[in-house]
């Protein structure tokens, strides 16, 4: 069976929207959620996050509100964005990083509009996940190390954004790429189309100075 790993960060509203689609896939039970620190990926690539570019941020928030409405997904922004998601990511890992933990945290932050940037803010959802001491859980050295390893593995795999579904070594990025992901999951031979294969050797005609 081809491994299916879904790289995400709770800071990403697109990850929240895409999670709702993944749950409807027949292959959902085979998908392993992998919490990663998106900020570390951006730092590695030398990129800004979309919400760090003012004009893009303004467009993105409108587009997110429209997309959620079109997809019938409740979306309520947390008190501030972007926010530091480390506490939420670590809590997810401390709770086992299964679908119940991912659901609970996405719902807390993006469905209900609560803060997800500190152990204190996450205390109610932590309690619902069976974790009474959220501060200790999110400060646990093993949990921090797992998040670091997850993020390093994502970078090594070539992940450049969230959400990303890895189907073996193939990466499918973004909520709007879901139809392509689903098509490839249903028929992996799509990736062998000659015209798609030819695109992999398309020459680069210019390199920008940085």
Catalytic positions, written as ranges: 12
Cα separations in angstroms, 11 against 49, 182, 205? 10, 24, 35
Residue that is written with structure tokens 């993105």 in the block: 60
Cα separations in angstroms, 156 against 41, 45, 109, 205? 10, 12, 29, 26
Work out the burial of residue 56: count CB atoms within 10 Å of its CB; fewer than 13 is exposed, 13-18 middle, 19 or more buried. Answer: middle
Neighbours of 53 (CB within 10 A): 12
DSSP code at position 118: S
């Amino acid at each position: 069976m081809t491994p299916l790993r879904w790289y995400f960060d709770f800071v990403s509203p697109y990850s929240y929207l895409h999670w709702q689609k993944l749950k409807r896939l027949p292959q959902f039970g085979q998908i392993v959620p992998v919490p990663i620190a998106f900020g570390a990926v951006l730092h590695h690539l030398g990129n800004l996050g979309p919400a760090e570019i003012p004009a893009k941020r303004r467009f993105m928030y409108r587009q997110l509100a429209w997309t959620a409405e079109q997809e019938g997904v409740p979306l309520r922004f947390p008190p501030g964005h972007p926010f530091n998601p480390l506490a939420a990511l670590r809590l997810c890992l401390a709770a086992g990083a299964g679908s119940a933990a991912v659901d609970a945290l996405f719902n807390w932050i993006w469905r209900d509009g609560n803060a997800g940037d500190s152990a204190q803010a996450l205390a109610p959802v932590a309690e619902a996940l069976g974790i009474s001491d959220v501060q200790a859980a999110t400060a646990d050295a093993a949990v921090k190390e797992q998040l670091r390893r997850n993020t390093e593995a994502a970078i090594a795999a070539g992940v450049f954004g969230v959400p990303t579904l890895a189907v073996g070594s193939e990466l499918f990025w973004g909520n709007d790429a879901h139809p392509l992901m689903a098509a490839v999951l249903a028929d992996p031979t799509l990736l062998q189309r000659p015209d798609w294969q030819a695109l992999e050797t398309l020459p680069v005609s210019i390199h920008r100075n940085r």
